[in-house]
Amino acid sequence: MIKTKIWHVDRQSNTNSTNQEQNKKLYSELIEGAEMLRSGGLVAFPTETVYGLGADARNSEAVAGIFEAKGRPSDNPLIVHIADINQLGELVLPYPQLAKELMNRFWPGPLTIVLPVQPDKLSPLVTAGLSTVGIRMPDHSVSLELLRLSECPVAAPSANRSGRPSPTLAQHVLDDLDGRIDGIVDGGPTGVGLESTVVELEDERTLRILRPGGITEEALIEAFPDVCIVKEHVNDEMVEKPRSPGMKYTHYAPKGELSIVQGDSLNVIVYINKQLEIAKSENKLTGVLAFSEHVSEYKADRVIDCGSEKRLDEAAQRLYAALREFDEAGVQFMWAEACKTEGIGGALMNRLVKAAGHQIIYV
Ligand code: AMP
Ligand code: MG
C-alpha cells in the first residue's frame, strides 16, 4: 500500500492564462508531482478529456506500474502525452504530411495520432510490442504544465481500475486507485468527459478513426474535406484482429445490467416504464439514465438526468459519473435513452453501447 498524495490545484489557474502570478502558483503546485513522474512515480492528472494516470514512457518499471495499478491487460498499448511538438522528433519516425496537418489543426486537443515509433526510445510496454505509438498533446493548462515540468514523455491511460468508467473527477481516481499510485493532481472536473479520438493514417489521403472521441468525425471532415475518413469502430464487436487492441475489451461496464433503448421518445418511455414495473415486482433496484426532457416520466429507484437532449456535450460530461453513481447505489437493472450519433453523440453512443455490452433494444 502506497500513501497517495493529493495536490489541489487552484481552479483559477486552470485556464490558459499568461498571468505571471498564476503561472508561478501553478508551478509551485505541480513541481512535486512532476518530480515524482521524472523519478519513476505514478501520478494521476486532469486533462480536457478524462483524468489520466501518468508515468515516464521511457521507464519500463514505471510503465509496468500503470498496468499493475489499473489491472490493465498488457497487450493494450498506452497513449503518450507531450507538451511540446519538439518532443516528437525523438519519439517517432518520419510520418505523413497529413499527420502534421492534423497536429497543426487539432493540437493541443483530444486527438491521438498513431505514428511509427522510433525503436528503443520508449518502453516496449507502452506500445505493447506494436511498431506504432499513439501520441497526443492535451488541451489543459494543468496537464501541459505538469508534462513540461516533468521533462519526459508521459504514458497515460485513463486513471481508473480496468473495466470501470473513466474518471472525470479526482474523487473517482481516489475511489479506484487510492493506495496504488503515488499522487493525484486534483484540478476539478474534466472537460469533454470522454476519451480522445484515436486516428491512424493509412496514407496521405486516408484517415481511420480507431476510437471516436472529443474531436468529432464532422470536425475532421470539415478540416480535411478531401481526405477519406474510415470508421473502424462501427463494428467493434465484429473485429477479429482489431487495429486498435483496446477495441476487443469491454470497457466501462457498470456492475448492474444496462440496456440502451432506442426509438421514438414516447415508445422509449413506455417501454422503460414497463420494464421498471417488472423489475420492481421482483424487488430489483432500478435506474434510468434519461435526458432532462423526460426525467419526470420515470419511476425508477435512481433516475439520473444527463442534461438536455439538445446538449449532448453535457451528457458526455456526465456519462461516466452517472455510471459510477449507479454502481454506488447498487442498482441491478438500468436503462439508458439512446441519443443521436451526430457530433459528440457519436462518441457518447459508442461508450454507452460498450457499457451496455452491446445490449440495444429498438422500440
Ligand atoms: P486509454 O489509454 O484507456 O485511453 O486507451 C488507449 C486506446 O488507444 C486503446 O483503445 C488503445 O488500443 C489505443 N491505442 C494506443 N496506442 C495505439 C497504437 N499504437 N495503435 C492502435 N491503437 C492504439
Ligand atoms: Mg481507459
Q: What is the 3-state secondary structure (H, E, C) of 149-181?
A: HHCCCEECCECCCCCCCCCCCHHHHHHHHCCCC
> Angle between the 345-355 and 312-329 helix axes, to the nearest 10 degrees?
20
How far away, in angstroms, is 301 Cα from ligand 1 center?
Answer: 36
Q: Using 50, 70 and 90 to split pLDDT, how confident is the model at 29?
A: confident
Per-domain residue ranges of the chain: 5-186, 197-238, 257-362
282's CB contacts (< 8 A; 6+ apart) are none
- The per-residue pLDDT for 243 is 67
**Nearest-CA residue for atom 5 of ligand 1:** 157
Cis-peptide into 108, omega within 30 deg = yes
How far away, in angstroms, is 214 Cα from ligand 1 center?
Answer: 15
Q: Are 69 and 177 in contact (CB under 8 A)?
A: yes
- The per-residue pLDDT for 126 is 97
What is the per-residue pLDDT across 191-203, written as a single tens digit (0 to 9) for each?
A: 999 999 999 999 8
How far away, in angstroms, is 227 Cα from ligand 1 center?
Answer: 22
Which of 93, 162, 198 to probe ligand 1 with, by most ligand atoms within 8 A of CB?
A: 198
- The per-residue pLDDT for 24 is 80
Q: Using 50, 70 and 90 to split pLDDT, how confident is the model at 171?
A: very high
Rounded average pLDDT over 289-304: 97
Q: Using 50, 70 and 90 to split pLDDT, how confident is the model at 238?
A: very low
Rounded average pLDDT over 29-56: 97
What is the per-residue pLDDT across 306-349, written as a single tens digit (0 to 9) for each?
A: 999 999 999 999 999 999 999 999 999 999 999 999 999 999 99
pTM for the structure as a whole: 0.93
Cα gap 55→74, rounded to integer Å: 15
Q: Using 50, 70 and 90 to split pLDDT, how confident is the model at 89?
A: very high
Pocket of ligand 1, beta carbon within 6 A: 76-79, 114, 127, 130, 132-134, 157-158, 195, 198, 210-211, 244-246
The bound ligand whose nearest atom lies closest to the alpha carbon of 79 is: 1
Cα gap 241→252, rounded to integer Å: 21
DSSP assignment, residue 57? T
Q: Using 50, 70 and 90 to split pLDDT, how confident is the model at 254?
A: confident
- 3 state SS of 217: helix
- 3 state SS of 332: coil
How far away, in angstroms, is 158 Cα from ligand 1 center?
Answer: 11
Residue 300, pLDDT > 90, answer: yes
Q: Percent of the chain, pLDDT > 70?
A: 92
- DSSP class per residue in 77-122: --EEE-S-GGGGGGTB----HHHHHHHHHH-SSSEEEEEEBPTTSS
Count Cβ atoms within 10 A of the Cβ of residue 133 and give its class: 0-12 exposed, 13-18 middle, 19 or more buried.
buried
Rounded average pLDDT over 297-310: 97
Nearest to 344 by CA among 143, 191, 189: 191
All three cell numbers of 10: 487552484
Residue 239, pLDDT > 70, answer: no
CATH number of 5-186: 3.90.870.10
- The per-residue pLDDT for 105 is 98
**Nearest-CA residue for atom 2 of ligand 1:** 157
- The per-residue pLDDT for 242 is 60
Q: Are 67 and 78 in contact (CB under 8 A)?
A: no
Rounded average pLDDT over 111-127: 97
Q: 147-161, 222-236, 264-278: which has the minimum mean pLDDT?
A: 222-236
19's CB contacts (< 8 A; 6+ apart) are none
How far away, in angstroms, is 81 Cα from ligand 1 center?
Answer: 12
The bound ligand whose nearest atom lies closest to the alpha carbon of 77 is: 1
**Nearest-CA residue for atom 17 of ligand 1:** 134
How far away, in angstroms, is 11 Cα from ligand 2 center?
Answer: 25
CATH superfamily for 257-362 is: Threonylcarbamoyl-AMP synthase, C-terminal domain (3.40.50.11030)
How far away, in angstroms, is 262 Cα from ligand 1 center?
Answer: 29
E strands, the chain, are: 5-8, 43-45, 52-56, 79-81, 111-116, 132-136, 154-155, 183-186, 197-203, 206-211, 228-231, 257-262, 286-290, 302-305, 333-337, 360-362
Which ligand 1 atom is nearest residue 247's CA? 10
**Nearest-CA residue for atom 23 of ligand 1:** 244
Q: Are 154 and 87 in contact (CB under 8 A)?
A: no
Count Cβ atoms within 10 A of the Cβ of residue 119 and give its class: 0-12 exposed, 13-18 middle, 19 or more buried.
exposed
Which of 51, 67, 76 to probe ligand 1 with, by most ligand atoms within 8 A of CB?
A: 76
- The per-residue pLDDT for 13 is 46
What is the per-residue pLDDT across 153-170, written as a single tens digit (0 to 9) for each?
A: 999 999 999 988 999 999
The bound ligand whose nearest atom lies closest to the alpha carbon of 232 is: 1
All three cell numbers of 269: 418511455
Q: Using 50, 70 and 90 to split pLDDT, how confident is the model at 142?
A: very high
DSSP assignment, residue 2? P
How far away, in angstroms, is 246 Cα from ligand 1 center?
Answer: 6
